[in-house]
Structure 1
Amino acid sequence: MEIILYNDHLIPSEEAKIDMEDRGYQFGDGIYEAIRVYYGQAFLMDLHLKRLERSAKELFLKLPYPLDQLKSRIYELIEKNQIKEGLVYFQITRGTSKRNHRFPENTDCVITGKVSELKRTDVVHKKGIKASLLDDIRWLRCDIKTLNLLGNVLNMQKAYEEGSLEAIQHRNGIVTEGCSSNVFIVKDGRLITHEANNFILNGITRLFVLELAKEIVVTVEERSFTTEELLEADEVFITSTGAEVTPVIQIADQIVNQGKPGPITSRLMELFEIKIEELAKVSL
């Protein structure tokens, strides 16, 4: 029996009900996080919750209870569902009220969450993926992790129809990020990724990889770069909670690094793997 989080309670999934006038359902008026589970441990949980808190502040959402309490509920959810490798997804909406574009004056936020099994067996991602190159059609506050993902969905569908597993997006020739990932390039030994401003989501895996880059003493530049720089890069990879560190070996019709993961990408993948294996020792 699947157990889910509903507000401050863990209940069987079949007991959950979402009101027709929940603002998350009607307006996408809410925020979410997705946290990877390795060896029964929620990976980088504190960073995810810190970002959740920021997203709530940006949307003027008052969290219904403290983050420490939410953290406890998430671990209870993992334990109750006996998940060792998986993904926790939870969202917070502004709550239920009569449909009106203005914020309701008296309503309580609604928290829902679940944990699903997700195995780390995707060989395709380790060898590298093809990405499309598409116009970024999203709104201008991509730094907030909201439920409004239709722009991402439309571009991901287009990428799928082009035989790609991700779409690298750009605004007037400036690369921003993927539909569900951050984008890195390597040129002449320098690791380059878009600065964390309103045009991208400051990914938790992005932040983690930037820390890993310090261990291999690579020069890091957080700055805007063009589609021309992207296509001329020595290496390209994406990062996300789901994709971890995934090489991009083809962009549209152009092959990157002879269709193989590059040396810096490969080293970062190795370091990421080491950090995950360290969690195995914690779980013993």
Structure 2
Amino acid sequence: MSLIYLNGDYVPHEQAKISVFDRGFLFADGIYEVVPIYNRQPFMFDGHMQRLQNSLHEVGITPPLSSNEWRSILTHLLTEEALDHAILYLQITRGSEFPRNHSPSPDIQPTVMAYLVPFTPPVGEPTPVRVELLEDIRWLRCDIKSISLLGNILLKLQSTAGGAQEPILHRAGRITEGASCNYFIVKDGVLITPPADSLILAGLTRQHVLKLAADAHIKVREAAFSTAELYAADECFMTSATREIIPVGQVGQEVIGNGQCGPVTRTLIERFRASRPR
């Protein structure tokens, strides 16, 4: 039975209920975070908490819990669920009020929820995947980890309908990110990823990969790159909290490099797995 933390209580998932007037339900007015757990230890927990605080600040929601309180909730859930590897999903909405109103009351109380799902850490060399180049139709504050993900969902559905695992998005020919991942390319030994501006959600996995690359003396450049540069890359890979590092062998019908997991990608996969909590 999955246990849910909801507004200070721990309840079975089938008993977890919120008001139909919750602004998360009505307006997607809220923030979420996803934290991978390895061997009962949260990975990059402080970074995830900092991003959560940043997103809450950007949308004007007062943080309802401290980092230590979130850690206590995680510890309780891990104990009750008896999981070694898991994904922590947490969500904070602005709260509920009646009647529905675009402008929230100043004294509204946030709705706070968290739960764990089992997670199997990747092993072995991942098979290169195909992604689909699509126009980025989302809003211009992608740096906020908002629960308003309709644009991401539509793009994900469009790409998977064509047999791709993920879209790779562009704005006027400039690559941004995926529906649920960040992207890197390698050209002439240089690792390149789009800058952490408002057009992408700068993932904690992305950040960790940049550090691993620097530690491995791989030259790194955070800079915008075009669709033409994507097609001309020697290697390409995606990163996310749940998938870690996945090589991209094909964009649409175009093969990237030789279509296989390249040497830089392989090095970073090995270093990433060696850095996971043990």
Aligned-pair identity (%): 39
> What is residue 103 of structure 2 aligned with on the other side?
102
- Deviations 1:204-261 (CA, angstroms, capped at 9, x unpaired): 0000000000121011111111010011100000111011011001100011122201
Amino acid at match of 1:91: Q
- Deviations 1:56-115 (CA, angstroms, capped at 9, x unpaired): 000000112222111211221122111112211110000001211112222110111110
> What is residue 254 of structure 2 aligned with on the other side?
254
Distance 1:156 1:65 in 2: 32
Amino acid at match of 1:166: E
Question: What is the Cα deviation at residue 121 of structure 1?
Answer: 4.9
Distance 1:232 1:2 in 2: 46
- Deviations 1:135-163 (CA, angstroms, capped at 9, x unpaired): 00000000000001111100100110110
> What is residue 155 of structure 1 aligned with on the other side?
155
Give the TM-score, by structure 1 length.
Answer: 0.95
> What is residue 226 of structure 2 aligned with on the other side?
226
> What is residue 212 of structure 2 aligned with on the other side?
212
Distance 2:223 2:258 in 1: 26
Question: What is the Cα deviation at residue 18 of structure 1?
Answer: 1.2
Question: What is the Cα deviation at residue 122 of structure 1?
Answer: 7.2
* Long gaps (5+) in structure 1: none
> What is residue 113 of structure 2 aligned with on the other side?
112
8 Å CA contact retained: 2:122, 2:243 = no
- Deviations 1:9-45 (CA, angstroms, capped at 9, x unpaired): 2222222111100000110100000111111111111
Distance 1:250 1:130 in 2: 5
Distance 1:27 1:178 in 2: 23
Distance 2:158 2:72 in 1: 39
Matches within 5 A, 1:30-179: 30-98=30-98, 99-121=100-122, 126-179=126-179
Distance 2:74 2:60 in 1: 23
Say how many residue pairs are matched: 277
SS in 1 for 2:105: coil
SS in 1 for 2:132: strand
Distance 2:215 2:42 in 1: 23
Cα distance change on mapping 1:61 and 1:119 into 2, 3 Å: same
Distance 1:63 1:100 in 2: 22
SS in 2 for 1:5: strand
> What is residue 194 of structure 2 aligned with on the other side?
194
Distance 2:77 2:29 in 1: 24
Distance 1:2 1:195 in 2: 38
Deviates more, 1:51-60 or 1:5-14: 5-14
Instruction: Please give the root-mean-square deviation of Cα atoms over the aligned residues, in Å.
Output: 1.2
* Long gaps (5+) in structure 2: none
SS in 1 for 2:176: strand
Amino acid at match of 1:101: H
Distance 1:30 1:200 in 2: 18
The answer as to 2:238 corresponding to 1:238 is: yes
Amino acid at match of 2:116: V
Give the TM-score, by structure 2 length.
Answer: 0.97
